[in-house]
Amino acid sequence: PIIYCNFIFPIGLNATVEIKDTHCSQFTQVASNTTIYTEGEATAILKPTITPEEKKSGTFFTHEYCARIDILYDRDGDGMAESVLYNRFMIPITYRYEKGSSGSNNDDAVIVSASVNGKERQSVDARTIISGVVVGSLITLFLVLLVRRFKRYRSNRRKDEQVNVEVTPVPKGLLI
């Protein structure tokens, strides 16, 4: 069997993807696929390694694969992009071979179940970003209201400080 994992991401971002026959906790380095995708869709491909003992046993066995996407960005402008955001997905696949099948042919496998159990925790949690935006908006709104109130207070204070003086002309010739 061959394992495909399709990733969809915003068009215009640079991404690289990879899938490994390992647990996601061990997949810590940037996806080493040299193809950089920019069109919003990327596919990771893996031909899994299945031992002859697993093939001959005739029982169910599960392999865990980890698919990873890295969003790349050239921070320094030196042409060397680095991963600024990544996500990993655990993919457990349960296989079964007919008892005594040949050890050389992977095509005899029956895939019993294959699903993405859910994604690993993201490097940047969406809840953190959303709460930061909400708190930032509230602080900005508070500051705008504070400045408007201060301007209104200052304007009213100036009006109160103004003294209305009425000048009456003194008729000529009257000096006392």
The model's pTM: 0.55
The tokens describing 81, both together, are: 């992009």
Predicted pLDDT at 144:
94
Nearest to 43 by CA among 7, 84, 92, 86: 7
Question: Using CA atoms, how far apart are residues 118 and 121, in angstroms rounded to an integer?
Answer: 9
Predicted pLDDT at 116:
66
Predicted pLDDT at 37:
85
Q: CA 49 from chain center: how many Å?
A: 31
Q: What is the pLDDT along the chain (176 residues), one digit of tens a residue?
A: 788 888 888 888 888 898 888 888 888 788 777 788 888 898 888 888 888 887 777 778 888 888 888 888 877 777 677 888 888 888 888 887 776 555 455 456 666 656 665 554 555 566 777 888 889 999 999 999 999 988 887 777 777 676 666 777 766 765 55
> Quick one: CA torsion of 94, 100, 103, 104, rounded to 10 degrees?
-100
Predicted pLDDT at 138:
93
Side-chain-side CA neighbours of 78 within 13 Å: the count stands at 4
